[in-house]
Amino acid sequence: MSTSWDSDDEYMKFIQRMNPPIVVIDNEASQNATVVKVDSANKYGILLEVVQVLTDLNLIIKKAYISSDGKWFMDVFNVTDRDGKKLRDAITINGIGDYIRKSLGADSCFVPTRRRSVDVALSTDHTSIELTGTDRPGLLSEVSAVLNDLKCNVVNAEVWTHNTRAAAVMHVTDELTGSAITDPERLSKIKELLCNVLMGSNKVRGAKMAVSGEITHTERRLHQMMLADRDYERSDEDTSDVNVRPSVTVANCYDKDYSVVIVKCKDRPKLLFDIVCTLTDMKYVVFHGNVNAESPEAYQEFFIRHVDGSPVNSEAERQRVIQCLEAAIERRISEGLKLELCTGDRVGLLTDVTRIFRENSLTVTRAEVSTRGGKAINTFYVRDAAGNPVDAKIIHSIRQAIGQTILQVKGYSEHPTSSPPQESPIRFLFAGLFKSRSLCNFASVLSSS
C-alpha cells in the first residue's frame, strides 16, 4: 500500500479550505478532564501539530484516541491543567480551540524542516544557534564563555544531554545593539570557535555548521538534532540497567498491514509529544492510537506505517524504532539536583553561573534559560562531574561564590546520597543569574519563586 503526502499538496489545501478544522471542547463528557475533539482533513504531521499545541499550552494529556485512516483525521484528547484539574477559564478554553484551528489551517506547515546538526539561523530579533557535540563536564560553561567573548548575549537557551551527547538551541543577540547578528564574518567566527569547543576530543562525531533562515519549534529541533546525531546508539561498554529503560515493543499486525508500537513507562508531562515527534521525524504515520496516562504508568499504543505505506519490515528496522523511542523518552528525564534561579537580567549571566558550576565540579545535564520583563528565570539540572548526586557542601560553596540572587533547590535524583540537604525548598541570596525564555516551565518557576 502506498501513500503520497506531497504530490497532491495543493489539492489538500483546497480540501482544507472547503472543510476547515472543527474543534469541540467539552467539559461535561468526562468527570475528571476537559475533552478536546479535533476533526480535520488529514495530512502528514497533523497529529504532531495538535499534540504540540496542547503541550505548548501546558496541558496534560490523560487520554487520547487517534484515528486518521483515509483522508480525515479524528482525535479525542482528555486534558487537564498542570494541577490535574479541568479547564474552567472561558478565555483559555476558547483560546485552545482558536490555536488548534489556526495551526491546522490550509496555510499552515505541518512538517518540521530537518537541518544539519549544528546551525545558525537568523530571525528579526535574535540569532538562533543550534549545537550538537560530545557531552562532558563544563561544556555549557565553555560554550557560553566563547559567546560572551564574542560579545553575544544569550537571551534564551535550552540544553539537553543524553547518552554522552549534548544538544542546545540558543538565541543570542549583539551585546551592544540587542538585535540579531547578521555580519557574515562574525557569524563565521562564531561557528568556527563553537565547532572547536563542541568537537572536543571526539573527531569522529564532531559538529558541522550551516546558516539557515528557517525557525522551528525548539523542542522539536532538539529531538531532530539528537536523532540525527544518533544519540540512540548504545556502545558495547554501556552498563546502564536495561530494567530501568522504558518498555517499547514493535510487532506487525499482518492482517491489517500495520506495525503496532506499544510503549509503557512512568508518566510525565510531554511524554506523548516526545514519542509522536520522534515517530514523525522517522517518517512514520500514526493511523490509529490509544493513550492512557491516568495512572502513574502511561500506556501508549500506535498502529503505524512508514510514509511509503509499508509496515516495519525487518528486524534491524524494528530495533531502530525501539532504540529511537527509548532515547526520545529518556532525553527529557532530567537526573540530578534541580536548581531554579531568578534575578535581574544582565549580559554575561549564563557565563558567570556556569563557570561557577564548573569550578565546583558540577556538570549540567539539562538547562532552560529564559528572560521575561527584565528578569532572568532559569532551571538547571546538575550532578557532580562523575555523574553522582550533588553533595550539600557543594551547594554551600556555590552560595558563597555567586553572591546575591535567589536560588531554589527544587529536587533530588531518585537515588540521592545518604545525607541529602533538606527536602523543602531553600532560598539563598546570590549575585546575577542568566538569560532565556522557556514556555514549558516558565509558569511553574513563577509559581514557586
Can you give the pTM of this predicted structure?
Answer: 0.83
At 206 the pLDDT is: 58
Residues of the chain with CATH 3.30.70.260: 119-228, 337-448
At 385 the pLDDT is: 86
Residue 440 pLDDT level (bands cut at 50, 70, 90): very low
Cβ neighbors of 201 (< 8 A, separation 6 or more) are 134
To the nearest whole number, what is the mean pLDDT of the chain? 81
At 297 the pLDDT is: 95
* Cα–Cα distance measured from residue 294 to residue 267, given in angstroms and rounded to the nearest whole number: 9
At 386 the pLDDT is: 85
Instruction: Quick: pLDDT tens for 347-383.
Output: 898 999 999 999 999 999 999 999 888 888 899 999 9
| CATH fold label, 337-448 | Alpha-Beta Plaits (3.30.70)
Cβ atoms of 337 and 383 within 8 Å: the answer is: yes
Cβ atoms of 248 and 319 within 8 Å: the answer is: no
Beta bridge partners of 266: 297
* Cα–Cα distance measured from residue 327 to residue 232, given in angstroms and rounded to the nearest whole number: 5
Give me Rg for the CA atoms of the chain: 22
Residue 287 pLDDT level (bands cut at 50, 70, 90): very high
* Cα–Cα distance measured from residue 433 to residue 308, given in angstroms and rounded to the nearest whole number: 49
Given a cut of 60, whether residue 200 has pLDDT beyond it is yes
Instruction: Quick: pLDDT tens for 249-261.
Output: 999 987 788 999 9
Instruction: Quick: pLDDT tens for 74-126.
Output: 999 999 999 999 998 888 888 899 999 988 875 554 444 333 344 666 666 88
At 444 the pLDDT is: 38
At 89 the pLDDT is: 87
At 17 the pLDDT is: 61
Percent pLDDT > 70 in the chain is: 77
* Cα–Cα distance measured from residue 88 to residue 163, given in angstroms and rounded to the nearest whole number: 41
* Cα–Cα distance measured from residue 364 to residue 358, given in angstroms and rounded to the nearest whole number: 9
Which among 75, 144, 145 is positioned nearest to 104, based on CA atoms?
75
At 13 the pLDDT is: 58
| CATH fold label, 119-228 | Alpha-Beta Plaits (3.30.70)
